[in-house]
Chain A
Amino acid sequence: MTFVWVLIVLAAGAVGLVVATYNRLIGLKNQIDYARGAIDALLKKRFDLIPNLVETVKAYAKHERETLERVTELRSRVGRAQSDDERFRLEGELSGLLGRLLVQLEAYPQLKANENFLELQASLNEIEEQLAASRRAYNAAVVQFNNAVEMFPSNMVASWMGLKPRPVFQAEEAARTAPDVGRMFGS
């Protein structure tokens, strides 16, 4: 009789452990999805700001036509991207290009007097900061998730659930440092 009770207690413990691990893995997966959603929302915001920026700048900065065209082209390629990975890669390139463009615009003091440009500059800078925070949150969530998926005993539940390690977000070389345009313009 005692043996049966021991078996029941052990089975109940095992079921409890599986349920707790299952819930934890779902929680970690949701954290990744949440951070990914935030990145998407911010990229969409930036995507919508680019036509405004190009329109505002092209009247003042005629010598930057080539860069502006490249920004416009990259933006449309982002819109046509076939996969998330390709889209994130192109967004990274766009980040770097926008940073460089804003640095080059330093040579146009009349732009600094344009209220619309200043607002765009502030918005883009803020979006870059929020993007950087969201990517860090995403990567932190992915590291926790991957640890849970690969470590014993949670890896057994993860494999039963069909969960696989996720790749962390790798910034493009050009996008690794978000442009601090406010400081460059001395605002």
Chain B
Amino acid sequence: MDARTYARLRPRIAALTRERRAAWAMLAAVWAGLLLAGGGLGLYLLRLGGRPVHLLASLAAAGALAGWLTPTLLYPFKERFKRELVKPLLEGSLEAVAYAPLGSVSVLDLEGSLLFKTVPPDEVTGEDLVVARRGEVGIRFSELRAGGGLRRKPRLGGERLVYEAPVFQGLFFVADFNKPSPGIVVAYPERWFLARPQIELERVRMEDPRFERLFKVFASDRIFAFYALSPAFMETLAAFARGAGPVAFSIVYGKLYLALAGGKNRLEPPLLGTLYSPRLYQGFLGEVELFLKLVDDLRLNRRIWGQMS
């Protein structure tokens, strides 16, 4: 984040810090009120001849109610944090930025990327959708979680609840691939959600041994794989994979996809600690910048290409 953007955001961060303080005060008041009410009810029950368990049950019920209300009480602060900061943060490197805290990229994009196995649409949830442009390139991305959770599985004549890991959880990017793209390229690390793509693609070995150690490349045409994965592109992707963790990439008929796996929501505001530290925003911005660098490396930012027949 550059100094000018940070200076522009400081007043908003100050207002958000005040709002967070107010949210904490409200939360403390709700917890105290409910625990007092629960304790009072328990004592009343004791006076009526109840046992200590009644007091404990009243307090536990009050605590559970307060716990249930906590996310609702904190939501306005979180929502405002994202609305106030995400858009201005991204406007430094993107144009026509639109932000929807509850939106997400489409499940069709997830399937179209060929980076994951198919997931029923109702099992895909997301948030923090950003739709923007980088020159001529349309870009959208969001946090995404697909599949996973508790499921009933048959076991020894009965059923049992089993936890399944999500098919994907992390940040998912989509961009227009403004070049004649007569094919498909998929690149992902050795330990990914798929061992092989679910359609027939050729395994291509790239000439960069460092990249080969980190990624497996599959393509519909080996020359298209070399066309898409230029040396600069491979270097950027490999450097990022070494620094930030699992990252996968594909180009499928006119769209470029990038998936950054990771359980943590990059845009979740901290409930404790300072909001002023630029490091809070660097992680998210760094990932967006990586994607934009890949877009720039591919020189997608110019719609001057004609279809070559």
Question: Is B210's beta carbon under 8 Å from chain A?
Answer: no
CB nearest to B309 among chain A residues:
A45
Which stretch (B189-197, B219-227, B281-289) binds chain A?
B219-227
Which of B179, B223, B308 meets A137, CB within 8 Å?
A: B223
Closest approach, in angstroms, between the C-beta of B246 and any C-beta of chain A? 25
A37 to chain B: closest CB distance in Å? 10
Contact of B207 (CB < 8 Å), options: A143, A180, A187 = A143
Which chain B residues lie closer than 8 Å to A136 at the CB level? 207, 226
Given A123-B308, A137-B225, 5 other A-B contacts at CB below 8 A? A31-B222, A34-B223, A126-B306, A134-B226, A143-B207
Please tell me if the beta carbons of A140 and B308 are within 8 angstroms of each other in the complex.
no
Q: How many chain B residues touch the partner (CB < 8 A)?
A: 18
Once the chains bind, are A133 and B223 in contact (CB under 8 Å)?
yes
- CB-CB contacts below 8 Å: B292-309 with A: 299, 302, 304-306, 308
Given the interface pairs A137-B226, A187-B302, the reply to whether A127 lies near B207 with Cβ below 8 Å is no
Q: Is the CB of A182 within 8 A of B205?
A: no
Task: Give the shortest distance, in Å, between B86 (CB) and chain A (any CB).
Answer: 31
Over the window 230-249 of chain B, the binary record of Cβ atoms lying under 8 Å from chain A Cβ atoms (1 yes, 0 no) is: 10000000000000000000
Q: Is A73 an interface residue (CB 8 A)?
A: no
B180 within 8 A of A: yes
Q: How many chain A residues touch B (Cβ–Cβ < 8 Å)?
A: 29
A118 part of interface (Cβ distance < 8 Å): yes
| A140 x B207 contact (CB < 8 A) | yes
A9 at the interface (CB under 8 A from B): no
B226 and A45 form a contact (CB under 8 A): no
Would you give the 0/1 interface string for A117-146, flagging 1 where the beta carbon is closer than 8 Å to chain B?
011011101110110111011011101100
Task: Please indicate the chain B residues that have their CB under 8 angstroms from the CB of A182 in the complex.
Answer: 299, 302, 304
Partner of A38, one of B223, B225, B299, B306: B223
Residues of A participating in the B interface, judged by any CB pair closer than 8 Å? 31, 34-35, 38, 45, 118-119, 121-123, 125-127, 129-130, 132-134, 136-137, 139-141, 143-144, 180, 182-183, 187
* Structural contact, B306 and A144, CB atoms closer than 8 A: no
Chain A residues positioned under 8 Å from B223 (CB to CB): 34-35, 38, 130, 133-134, 137
Closest residue of chain B to A123 (Cβ to Cβ) is: B306
* Separation of A134 and B302 alpha carbons in the complex (Å): 22
Determine if B206 is an interface residue (Cβ-Cβ < 8 Å): yes
- Take A31-B222, A133-B223, A133-B227 as given contacts and tell me if A126 and B207 are in contact as well, using a CB distance cutoff of 8 Å: no
| Chain B residues whose CB sits within 8 angstroms of the CB of A123 once the complex forms | 306, 308
Whether B222 contacts A137 by the Cβ 8 Å rule is yes
Residues of chain A lying within 8 A (CB to CB) of residue B227 = 129-130, 133-134
| Nearest CB of B to A187, in Å | 5
* 23 pairs, A vs B, C-beta closer than 8 Å: A31-B222, A34-B222, A45-B308, A122-B305, A123-B308, A126-B306, A126-B308, A127-B308, A130-B227, A130-B308, A132-B230, A133-B230, A134-B223, A134-B226, A134-B227, A137-B222, A137-B225, A140-B205, A140-B206, A140-B207, A141-B222, A143-B207, A187-B302
